Structure 1
Amino acid sequence: MTFRQFAFNNVLRNKRLYIAYFLSSLFTVMVFFTFAIFAFHPALSAGANSDALFGMGVAGGIIYIFSFFFVLYSMSSFLQSRKKEFGLLMIQGASTRQIRLMVFLENMLIGFFATVGGILLGLVFAKGILLLAENVLIISQELNFYFPTLAIVVTFISFIILFLIISIFVTFVLRSNKLIDLIKGDKQSKGEPKSSIFLAIFAALLLIIGYGTALYVKGETVVTAMVPVIIVVMIGTYLLFTQLSVYIIRRMKNNKMIFWRKTNMLLFSDLSFRLKDNARTFFMVAMISTVAFSAIGTLYGFQSLLTKGMKEENPYTLTYYPLEDSSGKDIEQDINQINAIFKEENIQTEMAKAELTYYDMKQDDRNILIAKASDYNRFAKLIGEKELNPTKSEAIVVDQSEKIVSNMDAGKILMESPIRLGNGDDIHPSKKIETEVLPELNGYYVVNDEVYGALGKPVRSETHYVWKAKHGQEDSIINAGRKISEQVGFEAQAIDYMVYEINKFYGPVLFIGLFIGIVFFVSSGSFLYFRLYTDLDEDKRKFRSIAKIGLTQHELGIVVNRQTAIMFFTPIVVALVHGAVALTALSHFFSHDLTKEASLVLGSFAVIQIVYFLIVRYFYVKQIKEAIY
C-alpha cells in the first residue's frame, strides 16, 4: 500500500468525522457558486451599474474570506480530535514530516471533492435559484438558465487555492506537540472549572449597560453610541460564557435540591466542563450569528422603512402637483393624459382636487397649511378616512410627525397656536388627530368652510390633484405609473411605481445580504456541530460506564437531549437577544417600528436552528445508544 493509498483509506476509516467537514465545505462551495451564478448572469452584468457590480464583488469577497476561516477552524477541530491517532502513528515509526504530508493529502482530497461536489450541486439548484431570484426580486430582465462557465472557473480555482493554503497551514499545527500529549489526547485532566465572582458580576453589568444604552438612545445618538455599545456587549458576552455561566452552574451544583434531583448530577457535572471548554466557540458563534441577524434585519428593515414610509405618507395611487408657472391649458392637458393612461390600463379611479393655502403664523416661523373642511373631506373619502366637521369656533390639528419624524412635535406647537382671522378674532384648536389625508408632514389646521373664507391673505397657494384606484391589477397600476412618470414628468408622483423602483434597486442588495447571512449562520451552526462530534468518542465511553451502574435508555435520552440543547441554543439565544436589541436600536434611529421585520428575521433563523438541532440530535443520540446498548 502506497502512502497516498494510506491517506485515502484514512479518510474512509474516519468517514464519520470527515463527513461533517466534507458536507460543510461542500455547502460553503455551493453557496459561493450559486452566488457567482447570480452575480455573473449576463442579464444582470449587462444592465447593472458599476456600484452594483462593485457591491457584488465585495459580497463575494466577504463570503470567500469567511469560508477560509470557517474551513480552517473546521480542519483544526479535526486535528484536535485525532491527537491519539497521530501519537500511535509516531510510535509505529511515522515521522512528523510523514504525518504532516498525510494531513496535507487528506485535506486536499476532501477539498477537491467538496469543490467539485459543491459546483455540481449548485448546477442542480441553479435554475431554482435563478427562478427564485426572478420572482422574489424586482428584476426587469428574465434570469434564464445559462451554463455558468465563468462561475465554475472562478469557484473551482478560488476554493482549490483556499484548500491548498489551508492544507499547507494546518500541516504545521502538530509541530509543537509532544508524543506523550498526543497519546493521552483528551484523557488529560481538565481540572475543576473556576470562575471569578467579580468577573461574573462585571459580565452582567456590562450586558445591562450595553442593552440599556442601546434601548435608551434615539435618533442620531444611536450612531454615536453604536461603537461603545458594541465593545461593551462583546466584552460582556465573552465574560458571560467564560465566567458568568460557569459561576451559575457552580451555584446550581451547590444547591442540593437541584443537583440531586434525578439525572441533574450527570448534567451539571459534565456541563461545567463543557462550558469551560466551549466558551470561545460559544462566543464566536454568538457574535457571528448576531452579525448575520443584524445585517439581514437591517437590510430588510431599511427596505421596509423606505416602502412603508412612502405608502404611509402617500395613500393615493397618484398625486399631481402642477408647477407654479403652469397654465390652465397645460394642467388640463396633463389631467386628460393621466386619465387616458388609467383608462388604457383598465384602471378605475376616483379623483379629487383641493386648493391648499399656506399662511404666515406669527407664533411660528413656518408657513402653516390651513385647509377647509370640504376639501379635506373630499380627500378623506377617497381613502376611507373619517370626515371632519369643525364648528365655526374651533380648529382641528392634523399631525403626522409622530409617525414620520419622532424628534419633531409639530402637532403640539399647532395646538398651542391660535388662528388669527382677518377681522382680528382668534380661533383656538380644540383637538388633534393623526392621518395622512393631505400631503403635509409639518401638521396643519382643518377649519369650517365659513371660517376659511374669513382668513387673511395666504402666503402661497398650491393646487393638488389626487387619484385613488378602485379596481385594477397591481401590474397595471405599476405600468400606468411608469407611463405617467415618463409622459407627464416629476409633477406626477405614482406611489406604486416609485415603490416598485425602490424594490427593484434594493432587491439585489437584500439578496446579496441574505447570501452572506446564510453563510455566517450555517457556519456558526457547523462550529457547534464540530464541537459536539469532536467529543463523541469521549461521550460514548462516559455513558457506557454510567449505563453499567443502571442508567436507563429514557434517562440517557433526557441527559443527552438537555446537554445537546444547551450546547446548541445557549449561544443562539444570546445572539437572538443581541439581534433583538440591535434591531430595536435601529428602529429608534429611523423612528420607524421594525417589530414585524425583526420578528420575521429572528424567528426564521430560530426555526432553522431548531430544525438543525433536531437533525443533529437524532444522529448524535443514535450513535450514543448504539455504543451502549
Structure 2
Amino acid sequence: MNFRQFAVNNVLRSKRTYIAHFLSSAFSVMIFFVYGLLAFHPQIEDGIGASSGTLSMLGTMGMNVAQYIVYIFSFFFLLYSVGAFIKIRKKEFGILLILGMSRKQLNRMLFIENMLIGMAAIVVGLGTGLLFAKLILLISAKVMAVDNGLPFYFPLKALVITAVSYSILFLLIAGFSSVMLRKGTLLALVKAEDAPKPQPKASPWLALLALLLIVTGYGMVMVFSVLQIFSFLLLLGGVVLVIGGTYFLFTQFSVYLMRYLQNKKPFFFRRTNLLTISELIYRMKDNAVMFFLVSVISASAFTGIGTTLAIGDPGLSAMENPYAYTYSYYEEEADRGKKDLEIVRQELDKAGFAYREGSVTPAYSDNGIKVIKLSEYNMLVESQGYPAETLGEDEGILTPGTVTEKNNYRINGLMFSEMEIDAGNEKVAVDVIKAETFIAVPDSYGVMLVVSDSLYDWVAASEEYSSSTYHTFFVPDWKDTGEVTRTIMNRMNESGEYSYYLKSLYLQWKGALQQNGILLIVSGLVGIVFFTFAASFVYFRLYTDLARDEQQYRMIAKVGLSRRELRTIVTRQLVMMFFLPMLVALIHTVVAFVGLQQLVDFSIVGHSVNIFIFFLGLQIVYFLVTRWRYLNRMYHIIQ
C-alpha cells in the first residue's frame, strides 16, 4: 500500500465522520452551479419573457451576487468543519508521528484527504445539478413568472466556472488544514482526548445583559415598523443589539440557567436529571458559539425567504392601487377615452368578470390643495365596498393617494383640524373631520381633500387648466385578468397608437412577481445553503465529542445505566442541540415578521408559517437520522 492509498483508506474509514462535510460541500457546489445555470441562460441574458432590460440586469446581478455569498460562506464553513475534524483526529495524528511519520508527510496526507473529498464533492454536486437541471429550469420559470418557460441548454460555462472555483476553494482549504495542525506539541496531540475540561462559569450580569440587549433590539425594530420611523441606523442598531444579545444568551445566560438548575437539589437529583443537566452545562459552554452562529444564520434564512414571499403577494400590488384598471385622460381626449373605456367594459363582460366603475376629476385650488368632489369620491369607495360618506357645506375628509400617506394617516390621524382653500380671490375655511386609512383615489400625490359638490364646483370654476379624469374598474378577481388585459391592450393599440392611458393592476403585479421570483430564487437557495451548513455545524460538534461520550457512557453503563435511560438522556441533549438554536431563530423571525406586518395591509402569517414548517420538517428528519445513528453507536458501546 503506497502513501496515496493510505490517505484514501483514511477517508473511507472515517466516512461516518466526513459524511456531513462531504454532503454539505456537494450541496453548496450544486447550488453554486444552479446560480450559474440561471445566470448564463440565454433567455435570461436576453431578458426575462417580455420584461424590461432592467429586470434582466437585476436577475443576472442577483445570481452573481448570490454566487459570491455562497462561495464566501462555503469557504468559512469548510474551514470550520476541517478544524473540527482535525480536533477529532489529534490523537491519531500523534500516534502516526510516534510511529515515524514526519510532519511533512502528515501535512501531505491531510492535503490529499481534503482534496479527495473536495474533488468528490465537485463531481457529485455538478452531476446532481446537471441531472436535475431541466426540473430546476421548469421550477425557476414558474417562480419568475416567465410565460414561455426556460428551455433546457447545456450549461458548459456554468460547469467550468463552478469546477474551477471550487477546485481553488478546496485547494485553499487543504492548504489551511496543514497550518491548523502545526499548533501543539506531540504530547499535546496524543493526550488531546484526555485533557480535562474546566468547570463552566457564567456571569449573572452578562446573562442579564443578554436579555436586555435582545429586548432593546426588539423594541428598536418595533419602533422602526410600528411608528414607521424609517431610519437605517435605527433598524441596524436593533439588529446589532439582537445579534449581540444572542451571543451572550448562549455563552452566558444558558450556562447560568443550567448552573441554577444544578443548584435546585430536588430537581437535579430526580431520575436522570443529574446526568442530563451536568452534561448540558458542558455542552452549552462548548457549543455556545456554534449555537449562536446557527441561530443567526437560521433567523436570516427564515426572515429573508419569508420577506421575499411577502413581496410577491398580490396584496402588495393592491396596496398601491386597488383597481384592476385605471384609465386617465384630459377633457380634450374625451372621445378616445369613451371608446377605450367601452373596450374595457366589452372585454370584461365577454370574459364574465364582475366589476364596479368609478371616476374622479381632481381640481386644484389657488393655494395648491387638491380637492375631490364628494359624489365622485363616494363612487370610488362604494366600488371597493366601503360605505358612502356625508359632508356638510364646509366640511372635508383627508384621503391618501400613496401607501406612505395612508400609513401616516393611520399612525398620526388628523394632522390639522382646519384647512383654508383659496379660489377666485376668495378664501373658505374647511373643517377636516377625519383622515381615511385606505386608498380611494388612484395615482395621486400630496394632500387631497374631499369636499361637498358645491364647494368643489366653486374651486373647479376658477381653474385655468383642465384636470385629468381617472376612470376606475374595481374587479374582485383581478388576479385572473391576464388574458383579458392582453386582449384589451391589443384592441386599444390597433390604431398604431400605444395607449399610455390605461394601467393594469395585473401587469403591475406580474412585473413585481418576476422581480420577486428572482429575489425568491436568490434568497431561497442561499437560505437553504445557510440552513444546511447550520445543521452540519451541529453534526460536527456532536461527533467532535463522540470519543469522550463513548468512554463516559461505557463507564456509567457499568453501574446500571439502562438502554431506556440512555435513550432519554441522549434524546434530551440532542433536542437541545438541534432545536434550541432553531427556537431562538424562530423568536427572532416572529419579531421580524410582526414588524413587517405593520408595513403591509395583507396577512403574511401564511408565508411565515409555511417557511417555518418547511425548515422544521427538514430539521426533524435530520434530528431523527442523527439520533438513530448516535444511539446505535452508544448501544454497541455499552453492550
TM-score by length of structure 1 reads: 0.88
Aligned counterparts of 1:429 and 1:420: Cα–Cα separation in 2: 16
1:60 maps onto 2:60 in alignment: no
Aligned counterparts of 1:402 and 1:319: Cα–Cα separation in 2: 15
- For residues 231-282 of structure 1, what are the alpha-carbon distances to aligned partners after superposition, in whole Å with 9 as ceiling and x for unaligned? 3333322222222211111111001122112211111101111111111212
Cα displacement (A) at 1:622: 2.8
Alpha carbons 1:359, 1:457 under 8 Å: kept = no
Cα displacement (A) at 1:534: 1.9
Cα displacement (A) at 1:7: 0.9
* The one of 310, 313, 328 aligned to 2:334: 328
1:240 maps onto 2:242 in alignment: no
Aligned counterparts of 2:401 and 2:627: Cα–Cα separation in 1: 51
State how 1:361-440 maps to structure 2 within 5 Å: 367-373=369-375, 375-380=376-381, 382-383=383-384, 385-388=385-388, 390=390, 397=397, 399-400=399-400, 404-405=404-405, 406-408=407-409, 412-413=414-415, 434-439=437-442
Shift in alpha-carbon separation, 1:370–1:275, aligned structure 2, 3 A: same
Alpha carbons 1:347, 1:476 under 8 Å: kept = no
1:134 maps onto 2:120 in alignment: no
Shift in alpha-carbon separation, 1:225–1:357, aligned structure 2, 3 A: closer
Equivalent residue, structure 2, for 1:40: 40
Greater Cα shift, 181-190 or 413-422: 413-422
Equivalent residue, structure 1, for 2:298: 289
Alpha carbons 2:326, 2:502 under 8 Å: kept = yes
Aligned counterparts of 1:592 and 1:441: Cα–Cα separation in 2: 22
Alpha carbons 1:77, 1:531 under 8 Å: kept = yes
- For residues 512-538 of structure 1, what are the alpha-carbon distances to aligned partners after superposition, in whole Å with 9 as ceiling and x for unaligned? 121111111111111111111222232
Equivalent residue, structure 2, for 1:525: 535
Equivalent residue, structure 2, for 1:176: 183
Cα displacement (A) at 1:111: 1.1
Unaligned runs of 5+ in 2: 49-55
Cα displacement (A) at 1:610: 3.0
Equivalent residue, structure 1, for 2:363: 358
Shift in alpha-carbon separation, 1:414–1:272, aligned structure 2, 3 A: same
Amino acid at match of 2:532: V
> For the aligned residues, what is the CA RMSD?
3.4
Aligned counterparts of 1:39 and 1:485: Cα–Cα separation in 2: 36
Amino acid at match of 1:122: G
Cα displacement (A) at 1:17: 0.8
Cα displacement (A) at 1:311: 0.9
Amino acid at match of 2:524: L
Amino acid at match of 1:331: G
1:491 maps onto 2:524 in alignment: no
Shift in alpha-carbon separation, 1:366–1:571, aligned structure 2, 3 A: farther
Equivalent residue, structure 2, for 1:508: 518
Cα displacement (A) at 1:40: 1.9
TM-score by length of structure 2 reads: 0.86
Shift in alpha-carbon separation, 1:412–1:540, aligned structure 2, 3 A: same
Aligned counterparts of 1:319 and 1:620: Cα–Cα separation in 2: 63
Aligned counterparts of 1:390 and 1:114: Cα–Cα separation in 2: 71
Greater Cα shift, 401-410 or 111-120: 401-410
Greater Cα shift, 145-154 or 73-82: 145-154
Greater Cα shift, 41-50 or 446-455: 446-455
1:219 maps onto 2:225 in alignment: no
Aligned counterparts of 1:427 and 1:234: Cα–Cα separation in 2: 51
Shift in alpha-carbon separation, 1:412–1:442, aligned structure 2, 3 A: farther
Shift in alpha-carbon separation, 1:391–1:575, aligned structure 2, 3 A: closer
Aligned counterparts of 2:589 and 2:212: Cα–Cα separation in 1: 19
Amino acid at match of 2:145: I
Aligned counterparts of 1:456 and 1:330: Cα–Cα separation in 2: 23
Greater Cα shift, 261-270 or 583-592: 583-592
Aligned counterparts of 1:209 and 1:425: Cα–Cα separation in 2: 49
1:259 maps onto 2:265 in alignment: no
1:573 maps onto 2:607 in alignment: no
Alpha carbons 2:395, 2:451 under 8 Å: kept = yes
Equivalent residue, structure 2, for 1:100: 107
1:552 maps onto 2:562 in alignment: yes
Shift in alpha-carbon separation, 1:334–1:118, aligned structure 2, 3 A: same
1:76 maps onto 2:104 in alignment: no
Amino acid at match of 1:407: N
Cα displacement (A) at 1:182: 1.4
Unaligned runs of 5+ in 1: none
Cα displacement (A) at 1:425: 9.8
1:203 maps onto 2:204 in alignment: no
The DSSP-based 3-state class of the residue aligned with 1:316 is coil
Greater Cα shift, 404-413 or 422-431: 422-431
- For residues 175-221 of structure 1, what are the alpha-carbon distances to aligned partners after superposition, in whole Å with 9 as ceiling and x for unaligned? 12212221122221001111222222222222222222222234344
Shift in alpha-carbon separation, 1:591–1:327, aligned structure 2, 3 A: closer
State how 1:298-317 maps to structure 2 within 5 Å: 298-304=307-313, 307-317=314-324
Equivalent residue, structure 2, for 1:466: 472
Greater Cα shift, 73-82 or 447-456: 447-456
Aligned counterparts of 1:159 and 1:381: Cα–Cα separation in 2: 61
Alpha carbons 2:355, 2:474 under 8 Å: kept = yes
Aligned counterparts of 1:483 and 1:415: Cα–Cα separation in 2: 48
